[in-house]
C-alpha cells in the first residue's frame, strides 16, 4: 500500500486526473459520510464502483445505487485487479480510519486517499472542540486539563489530551490535522485493555444504540456477552436496530429499548435533523419529539452490569450522575464519549476521577476529525487480573 494521499480543494483536480480517470474506486465506509463524500466525488466526475463496509448488516446491499462489499471481497477484488496490473483507489469515508488503514496495509495494489478536510469544509465547518467559548469558559476548561492529565494511565492518553488542549486553546486557528496524528488504530470502545479485562459473558449497557452497531463490534472481538441492554431514543434508529436484531436472531441477548438515558426517569425531548438523525440531542425544554428517559440506577437496581458504553450526544454527564450508584456498586468497565462539547472532555474525567476509587483512566481518540474521543475507566483489580493471566 502506498502512503495516505490527502485530497483538498487545492489539489482535487490534479489528483483526479492523475489517479482516478481509469481506476476502480471504492469508498470505505457506507454511512452518512460516505454518501457525503460520494457527492463531492460526483461533482468532480469521479465514478465510484463500490462501497466497502465492516458492518455485516450493510454488506451485499446497495447505497445510493452502489453495491456494498466486505473487506474480504475488497481483498479479492484487489488481487484480481493486480493480476491485470491495475491499482484500486480506496477513499476513506469513515472517521474511524485508523483501524481501516491498519487493515489495508495487508492488501497490495491499493492507493488510499482521505478527503476529511473537504468533508469538514462542506458539511461540518467546526468540530466540537472548536466551539466558540468566551475567555472565562476557555480558561476554566484549560485549567481542568492540568487537573486531568497527570491522573491518566499512559503516555498515549496524556498526549491525546495535550493535543485537544491545544486545539481548544487555539479555537479558530487550531490545526485540525492534528486529529489524524493522534487517531488510534484500535477499535472504538474495544481497545486491547478493555477486551482483556472483560469477564466471560459480560452484561453490557449500551447507551446510544444507534442501529445496533455494538452487535457488530462484539462479534468482531468474539465477546460472548450474556446480555446487551441497548438504549436508543431516536424512533427511526430504534426501529432499524430492532430489524438488525431480528435479522441476526439475537432477540434473547441483544435487547433494544426505545428510551433515552438521563439522570432521572420521566420524559425528555429529542431534537434531530432529518438529514443527520445520528446527532439527536435530548433536553428537558418541551421542544421536539417526546421520548421516555431512564436512569441507570433506576433501571439496573437488581441487575449487575459489567461494561457501560456511552455515546449520547452530550447527555453523558447526566447519564453518569444517574448511574453512579450502580457504577460504584458493580465496578463495570466504562467507555464514555468525551467529544460532544469542549466542556465534556474535562468535566467527565474530573467527575469520574472524583467519584471512583481504584480505577485506571485512559483516553483514546479514534477519529481523523474532531470527534470520537473516548475515556476508558477500568477497575484496578480487573487490570491486575488481566496482567496476571498474561504472566
pLDDT average, residue stretch 191-212: 97
Taking alpha carbons only, the member of 156, 319, 129, 160 closest to residue 231 is 319
Q: 37-46, 239-248, 267-276, 282-291: which has the minimum mean pLDDT?
A: 267-276
Kindly report which listed range (4-8, 159-163, 339-343) carries the lowest average pLDDT score. Answer: 4-8
Tell how far CA 250 is from the center of its chain. Answer: 23
Contact 225, 198 (CB under 8 A): no
Q: What is the pLDDT of residue 23?
A: 86
Rg (CA), the chain: 21
pLDDT band at 117 (very low <50, low <70, confident <90, very high): confident
pLDDT on residue 391? 47
pLDDT (0 to 100) of residue 126: 62
Cβ burial, residue 60 (10 Å; 0-12/13-18/19+):
exposed
Name which of 307, 22, 350, 386 is nearest 161 in CA terms. 350
Q: Which one is predicted more confidently, 259 or 385? A: 259
Beta bridge partners of 276: 273
Q: Report whether pLDDT(12) > 50.
A: yes
At 124, is the pLDDT very low, low, confident or very high (cuts 50, 70, 90)? low
CA neighbours within 13 Å on the CB side: how many for 123?
Answer: 17
pLDDT: is 277 or 379 the higher one? 379
- CB–CB of 354/328 below 8 Å? no
Q: How far is CA 26 from CA 45, 49, 149, 344, in A?
A: 15, 6, 40, 36
> ∠ CA(51), CA(52), CA(57), 5° rounding?
105
For a pLDDT cut of 90, what percent of the chain falls above it? Answer: 73
Residue 386: pLDDT over 70: no
Going by C-beta distance under 8 Å and a sequence separation of 6 or more, which residues neighbour residue 148?
161, 346, 349, 350, 353
Residue 26 forms beta bridges with which residues? 50, 90
DSSP 3-state of 219: helix
| Distance separating alpha carbons of residues 203 and 230, to the nearest angstrom | 11
Which candidate, 65, 70, 14, places its Cα nearest to that of 38? 65
Count CA atoms closer than 13 A to 242's CA, side-chain side: 11
Q: Edge-to-edge strands of the sheet including 276-283?
A: 260-261, 289-294, 266-273, 276-283
Is the pTM of the predicted complex or chain greater than 0.85?
yes
The three-point CA angle 62-89-17 to 5° equals: 115
Query: What pLDDT sits at residue 215?
Result: 95
Residue whose C-alpha is closest to residue 344's, from 366, 375, 301: 375
The CB density around residue 296, as the number of other CB atoms within 10 Å, is 27
- Domains of the chain are 4-123 (3.40.50.720), 128-390 (3.40.50.150)
> Tell me, what's the pLDDT at 235?
93
Cite the DSSP H helix spans in 47-175.
71-83, 97-104, 116-123, 135-148, 155-170
**Distance between CA atoms of 237 and 212, rounded to whole angstroms?**
9
Q: 215-265, pLDDT tens digit by residue?
A: 999 999 999 999 999 999 999 999 999 999 999 999 999 999 999 999 999
Decide if 155 contacts 371 (C-beta within 8 A): no
| Per-residue model confidence as pLDDT tens digits over 78-109 | 999 888 888 999 999 988 888 898 899 888 88
Other Cβ atoms within 10 Å of 207 Cβ, number: 26
335 has which bridge partners?
309, 376
Q: How far apart are CA 64 and CA 34, in angstroms?
A: 10
pLDDT at 125 over 60: no
Whole-number Cα distances in Å, 298 to 245, 266, 326: 25, 11, 9
According to DSSP, the residues that pair with 52 across neighbouring strands are 28, 69
Residue 212 has pLDDT above 90, yes or no: yes
Amino acid at each position: 500500500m502506498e502512503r495516505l494521499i490527502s485530497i483538498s480543494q487545492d489539489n482535487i483536480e490534479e489528483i483526479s486526473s492523475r489517479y482516478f480517470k481509469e481506476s476502480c474506486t471504492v469508498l470505505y465506509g457506507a454511512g452518512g459520510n460516505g454518501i457525503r463524500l460520494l457527492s463531492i466525488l460526483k461533482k468532480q466526475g469521479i465514478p465510484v464502483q463500490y462501497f466497502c463496509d465492516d458492518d455485516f448488516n450493510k454488506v451485499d446491499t446497495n447505497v445510493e445505487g452502489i453495491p456494498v462489499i466486505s473487506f474480504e471481497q475488497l481483498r479479492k477484488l484487489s488481487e484480481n485487479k493486480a493480476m491485470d496490473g491495475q491499482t484500486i483507489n480506496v477513499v476513506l469515508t469513515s472517521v474511524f480510519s485508523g483501524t481501516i488503514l491498519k487493515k489495508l496495509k495487508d492488501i497490495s495494489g491499493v492507493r488510499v486517499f482521505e478527503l476529511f478536510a473537504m468533508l469538514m469544509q462542506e458539511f461540518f465547518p467546526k468540530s466540537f472542540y472548536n466551539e466558540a467559548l468566551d475567555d472565562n469558559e476557555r480558561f476554566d476548561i484549560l485549567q481542568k486539563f492540568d487537573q486531568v492529565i497527570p491522573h491518566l494511565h499512559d503516555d498515549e492518553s496524556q498526549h491525546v489530551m495535550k493535543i485537544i488542549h491545544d486545539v481548544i486553546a487555539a479555537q479558530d486557528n487550531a490545526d485540525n490535522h492534528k486529529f489524524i496524528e493522534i487517531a488510534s488504530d484500535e477499535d472504538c470502545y474495544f481497545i486491547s485493555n478493555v477486551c482483556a479485562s472483560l469477564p466471560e459473558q459480560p452484561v453490557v449497557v449500551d447507551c446510544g444504540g444507534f442501529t445496533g452497531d455494538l452487535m457488530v463490534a462484539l462479534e468482531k472481538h468474539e465477546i460472548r456477552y450474556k446480555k446487551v441492554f441497548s438504549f436508543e431514543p431516536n424512533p427511526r434508529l430504534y426501529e432499524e436496530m430492532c430489524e438488525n436484531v431480528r435479522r441476526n436472531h439475537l432477540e434473547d441477548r441483544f435487547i433494544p429499548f426505545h428510551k433515552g438515558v438521563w439522570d432521572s426517569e420521566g420524559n425528555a425531548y429529542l431534537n434531530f435533523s432529518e438529514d443527520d438523525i445520528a446527532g439527536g440531542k435530548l433536553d428537558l425544554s418541551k421542544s421536539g419529539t417526546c421520548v421516555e428517559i431512564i436512569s441507570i440506577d433506576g433501571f439496573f437496581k437488581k441487575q449487575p452490569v459489567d461494561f457501560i458504553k456511552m455515546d449520547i450526544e452530550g447527555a453523558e454527564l447526566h447519564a453518569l450522575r444517574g448511574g453512579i450508584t450502580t457504577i460504584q456498586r458493580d465496578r463495570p468497565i466504562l467507555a464514555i464519549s468525551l467529544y460532544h462539547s469542549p466542556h465534556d472532555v474535562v468535566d467527565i474525567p474530573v467527575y469520574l476521577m472524583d467519584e471512583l476509587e481504584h480505577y485506571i483512566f485512559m483516553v483514546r481518540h479514534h477519529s481523523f476529525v474532531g470527534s470520537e474521543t473516548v475515556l476508558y475507566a477500568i477497575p484496578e483489580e480487573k487490570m491486575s487480573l488481566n496482567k496476571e493471566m498474561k504472566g
